[in-house]
Amino acid sequence: MGLTVEDMYILLEVTGIIDSEALLKNGSCRILGLTTANPILQIGNNVFTGEYKETFGTMMFFDENDDQGQNSDEPSLGYICKADRKLELHRIILKPKKPLEEPKGKDGTSVTSTK
């Protein structure tokens, strides 16, 4: 029984403090909850959260072919797919959780449960 792999193309619109150098340097990213309403993207130490939005018009995806065809300076492109939605992502700052405080009794002493 073989593993089925399906390609998925999504237009990501990333805003926040990140530049193309950071994208090239990291080379990869992690996406959590891609099929949820609010996916999370991590690129290096940068974290983004987003939501899906309708695009204005149709977005089309192309791939640059190796052969340039008619000796042209312009690349030869091959159609991949189209999309009418994009994932808009905005940078978020994660802060460490504060440790939970132990419950205090009326006199200020710690209360422990014996369940």
Lookup: tokens for 63? 């791939």
Mean local confidence (pLDDT), 16-34:
76
CA distance 26 to 93: 19
Overall pTM > 0.75? no
Q: Which pLDDT tens digit goes with each residue over 28-45?
A: 789 999 889 999 998 888
Cα separation, 100 vs 21, in Å, equals 39
Q: At residue 86, does pLDDT exceed 70?
A: yes
* β-strand partners of 54: 85
**Per-residue pLDDT, 104:** 66
